[in-house]
Amino acid sequence: MKENAKLKVTLVTGRTIDQGVGKERGKASKEYAESVSVCYLDPDDLRRLGIKENTNVLVSTEHGTIVVKALKSLRAPHPNIIFIPYGPWANAVADPETNSIGMPSFKGIPAEIEPAADKLVLSLKELLKTQFGGRLTSQ
Q: Residues in the site for another protein, rule: CB under 8 A?
A: 10, 12, 14-17, 20-29, 43-44, 63-64, 73, 75-79, 81, 83, 86-88, 91-92, 94-96, 98-108, 124-125, 128, 131-132, 134-139
Amino acid at 97: E
**DSSP letter string over 110-132?**
EEEEEE-TTSPPPPHHHHHHHHH
Minimum gap (Å) between residue 4 Cβ and another protein: 25
For residues 10 and 55, which CB has a smaller minimum distance to another protein in the complex? 10
Strand, coil or helix: 137: coil
For residues 45 and 115, which CB has a smaller minimum distance to another protein in the complex? 45
Minimum gap (Å) between residue 69 Cβ and another protein: 18
For residues 4 and 58, which CB has a smaller minimum distance to another protein in the complex? 58
For residues 2 and 30, which CB has a smaller minimum distance to another protein in the complex? 30
- Could you count the other beta carbons within 10 Å of the beta carbon of residue 7? 16
Minimum gap (Å) between residue 126 Cβ and another protein: 12
Amino acid at 44: D
| Closest by CA position to 57, among listed 117, 126, 130, 124 | 117
Minimum gap (Å) between residue 72 Cβ and another protein: 12
Amino acid at 47: R
- Overall residue count recorded for the chain in this entry: 139
